A and B are shown apart, each in its own frame.
Chain A
């Protein structure tokens, strides 16, 4: 992963949780918590565990990466349902 970017992993879960790691955790922790929770609520009614490894991502980057992760996770889930 390059600097100014972040890696997001999303998995289905009973309730919302966030695991956040990065150099600037103290500065960006609250911002990240707010954004991740908002997207998790909207995309999956909060039923998701989110892991973020941050290398100094701007808010736009963080949002784009989280949205992509949720979209991909939901896509996989949908395909799973179709297969069943």
Chain B
């Protein structure tokens, strides 16, 4: 068995890759029908900020039909509903949940109660429609100082929570600070969101890069998100998807080393040896785990074995 296949087998209980989550205005059928062409790992059909108050009903009908009836190929489909403090929250869930998206993104989660409230509603709707209980996941969006401080409790509020996501726009507004190019004002929040998500065994998604003309800024921020441990990053324009995927591409040197580590670890296991070393450095459990995850990542870029690395 090839190492990449083994890595996948090892990871088979983990979810599909979600490096990019592309926002799409929920009232724009032209964009939604071209979802697979944008190459994003997942899309976020948006009923919240991208839709004017007057068109909430139209977007809700459109999105729920699209999710229920259109084949999006390999792209994971999620829907951002309106917040629980709006008149549309319950209607959004009642119509979207029966269409069975992979997850709904719940904005402005301030506390575990917000998640429990959404979980109760979704559970009831699932029961009413004879759906698998817990099938539609929650991606809890943290975009207030209070929400960030409650990150771990929110992550643990329900089995249904699958990911924490950082909403940088609203958070900087709540903090009373400006969003800067290097994003230093979000450093703590990013760390907090990743730590809480990982501690609870969840995925973590980074906020959007809003300046679509500044590709260099996006690349730097995406790299930071990868380094900090985010599972993926939201995109607000199809042109951002490739830069985000590029940020997740493993460094060829590190990837080669990962293949050598796995090879050495397997040899050591066969020969009953304990501690081993690769390139003069000690290899132990965490090193092997990191090597597996790097190889799993490499597979997304068509690298099945060491010879594929250019």
Contacts and interface: CB of A to CB of B under 8 A. Distances in A.
Contacts of B29: 4-5, 57-58, 60-61, 64
Contact of B58 (A57, A60, A65): A65
Interface residues of A, number: 15
A4 B66 contact: no
Contacts of B66: 60
A2 interface: yes
A45 B30 CA distance: 31
A71 B65 CA distance: 16
Given A2-B28, A2-B30, A4-B30, A60 B69 contact: yes
A64 B61 contact: yes
A15 interface: no
Interface in A14-69: 57-58, 60-61, 63-65, 67-68
Contacts of A5: 28-30
Chain B interface residue bracket vs A: 10 to 19
A78 interface: no
| Interface residues of chain A: helix, strand, loop or mixed (majority) | helix
Contacts of B70: 58, 60
Contacts of A58: 29, 33, 70
Given A68-B58, A72-B57, A4 B65 contact: no
B288 interface: no
B125 interface: no
B57 A61 contact: no
Contacts of A2: 28, 30
Interface in B43-65: 57-58, 61-62, 65
Contacts of A4: 29-30, 33
Contacts of A63: 65
Interface string B58-97: 1001100110011000000000000000000000000000
B87 to A, nearest CB: 14
Nearest to B55: A68
A55 to B, nearest CB: 9
Nearest to B57: A68
A65 B61 CA distance: 8
Interface string B16-58: 0000000000001110010000000000000000000000011
A7 to B, nearest CB: 11
A26 B297 CA distance: 49
A57 to B, nearest CB: 7
A5 B31 CA distance: 10
Given A58-B33, A60-B66, A60-B69, A67 B28 contact: no
Contacts of B69: 60
Nearest to B34: A4
Interface in B183-241: none
Contacts of A72: 57
Given A68-B58, A71-B57, 5 more contacts: A4-B30, A60-B65, A60-B66, A65-B61, A68-B61
7 contacts: A5-B30, A57-B29, A61-B29, A61-B33, A64-B62, A68-B61, A72-B57
Q: Top 10 A-B pairs ranked by shortest CB distance?
A: A4-B30, A61-B29, A64-B61, A64-B62, A60-B65, A68-B58, A64-B65, A4-B29, A60-B69, A68-B61
